Amino acid sequence: MKYGVVAFPSKKLQDLANGYRKRYDPHYALITPHMTIKGVFDADDKEIEQVAKAIQEVASKHKPFELNVSKVSTFAPITNTIFFKVTVNDDILALHKDLNEDFFGDQPEYSFVPHITIAQKLTSGEHDDIIGQLKMVGADHTEMIDRIHLLYQLEDGSWTVYETFRLDGVN
């Protein structure tokens, strides 16, 4: 079964992202707006119990982190994915590191660019048509994230939450 770890931002930021996703993201219906912290990995029913325990341990050692989005950016030309860029900070990096290095699942192939996707699978033409305007509108929002979620994927591609973990460490 396929799993992943994400943070869901507040309703306010999710509503904002969904305004774009509804039009520009074919994954709109598969999952609500999120920031991925650990990308897709495979685990069987036995393994995931151990993984969940390990995530619990990591979460208990991390404190809530600030999620600040201050601009719209794009992964083009690598992929035509447009996103709210999340400002990197030590808390986010440390949490990502603990869930990806020396942890269950493969090492990430790309460097970590924390983000909330608002458009993807666009043609280059579509991408180029809207990126200018989206960048101009931009984004400006700050909030605290105090929990992360372990999700699993159904056959139709949609994601269900398996478990929530509160970030209740002090460091």
- 29: contact with a second copy by CB under 8 A: yes
Which letter, b or e, does each residue of 29-39 get, where b requires 16 or more Cβ atoms within 10 Å of its Cβ?
eebbbbbbbbb
Q: Which string of x and - marks every residue 132-171 that binds a second copy (by CB under 8 A)?
A: ---------------x-x--x-xxx-xxxxxxx-x-----
- 56: contact with a second copy by CB under 8 A: no
Please indicate whether residue 127 is annotated as part of the active site: no
C-alpha torsion angle, residues 116, 11, 26, 128 (rounded to 10): -50
- 22: contact with a second copy by CB under 8 A: yes
Check: CB of residue 9 under 8 Å from CB of residue 116.
Answer: yes
Q: Which residue has the tokens 């396929």?
A: 2
Please indicate whether residue 27 is annotated as part of the active site: no
Check: CB of residue 152 under 8 Å from CB of residue 2.
Answer: yes
**Positions that interact with a second copy (CB under 8 A):** 1, 8, 11, 14-15, 18, 22, 28-30, 32, 147, 149, 152, 154-156, 158-164, 166
Annotated catalytic sites, by residue? 34, 115
